[in-house]
Amino acid sequence: MRQYPSKPKFNPKFCVRYFLQLLRKTYFSSVKSQILLALTHCEAINAGWTELIQERMRPIPVDLIRTLAIVGVILLHSANEIITVQHANPYEVADWWMVDIYQSLGRLGVPLFVMLTGALLLQPSKVEPVGAFFKKRWARIGLPFLFWGAIYFAWDYFFDHLTLTSGFIFQGVLVGPYFHFWYLYMLIGLYLLTPMFRLVVAHATPEIFKYIFAVWLLCALFTPIPGIIGAFYNDANLLTFPLWAGYFLLGAYLVNVKMNHKFLLGIVAAGLTLTVIGTYLLLFPVGGQHTYYFQDYFSPTMILSSAALFLLLTSIKVPANQKEASHPKINWLLKQISQCTLGIFLFHIIVLETLQRGYLGFTISGNYLNSIVEIPLITIVTLAICLAVLVPLKKVPIIKRLIA
């Protein structure tokens, strides 16, 4: 891991002494240029840490990370259809294990999205007025939120046969008209904190970063433990911390870190394996809401796996242009998916439920197919349908702004 030097301290006495030495050595010749040199030198000392971060920032394979993240999200929601264990039927036990594995893999998707967002938005080079920042964010998620919200209220009414009372609609606005809208609400919260976090990333030393991550981990790991070991719980006011902010800041921090690829692969594999096994071990002695503790986004195994995978992906070299790309067709596909990720995220539940319910004249469901085949199959088909619908629509300027 790269080690950062401690942040240089601004020393006014040094700047004055340095300036006087310049005057003496040059006998007051080229005074203007020497003054500028002295001021530049002092300014560099004061801003050295920010410049160091900017110099160490490496290109990020945005398209690849977004693609893997959205595939993970679709995989997770595809695997959520069935979770059953019946020891009398060996097939059902094997089916549960496959769902457990696919869910654990899919859980990596949202942390990848959040870390990538942090890496892109919290760079020290991002200097813009607060108003301009929020105007861009509104253009990105504001109109799509309203458009897809209306679509899902219609889906509730026409396909889920729910009554759209004023109370139902108001509650839907507060928490989202469908279950996956929680991501947008979380994203809005992170956007509100971004102007402050930019200052933190620009000026915090490695020690401050470590302290922030230590508090985050303490809150994430300690809070659910009493409920797992017994019928206990923590005070709601203890260790209050916006947990997704940890992933957000972690993304900005990790882009400056480099580690051995084989080691990172081992961490990802170990974390996912422990997640799968840990979920099984908690099923019988604990059960209930804590059964899937290890699949929670803030469990130690998921944090470890997500961070290691993000580090591994950010270490991949990004081609400078299309000509340098070794696989131009794959890169083209990744770019198409990357440009549609928010639209795919919001649209894919409709496609997924359409396939599972057989609205297109055929059904892809775990009730009829083995989960080993069904879950990856419906994931691929859902992604393909989303792209087939969204890519052409994004070419229409007005519709492009609505669908994200």
DSSP 356-399: HHTTTSS---TTTS-HHHHHHHHHHHHHHHHHHHHHHHTTSHHH
Confidence at residue 82, expressed as pLDDT on a 0 to 100 scale: 56
Q: Considering the entire predicted model, what is its pTM?
A: 0.83
Return d(Cα 225, Cα 220) in angstroms, integer: 10
State the Cα torsion 381-387-393-394 to the nearest 10°.
160
Confidence at residue 28, expressed as pLDDT on a 0 to 100 scale: 40
Confidence at residue 39, expressed as pLDDT on a 0 to 100 scale: 37
Q: What number of other Cβ atoms are within 10 A of residue 137's Cβ?
A: 17
- Is 1 contained in some domain? no
- Is 127 contained in some domain? yes
- Is 336 contained in some domain? yes
- Is 100 contained in some domain? yes
- Is 292 contained in some domain? yes
Give me the domain span that covers residue 390.
52-403
pLDDT digit string, tens, across residues 151-185: 999 999 999 999 999 999 999 999 999 999 999 99
Angle between helices 300-314 and 243-254 (to 10 degrees): 30
Which residues of the chain carry a pLDDT beneath 50? 1-16, 18-20, 22-23, 25-50, 52-55, 83-88
Tally the domains of the chain. Answer: 1
Provide the H-helix boundaries in 107-181. 109-121, 130-137, 143-158, 166-175
**DSSP at 163:** -
- Is 242 contained in some domain? yes
Q: Are 27 and 298 in contact (CB under 8 A)?
A: no
Confidence at residue 269, expressed as pLDDT on a 0 to 100 scale: 97
- Is 45 contained in some domain? no
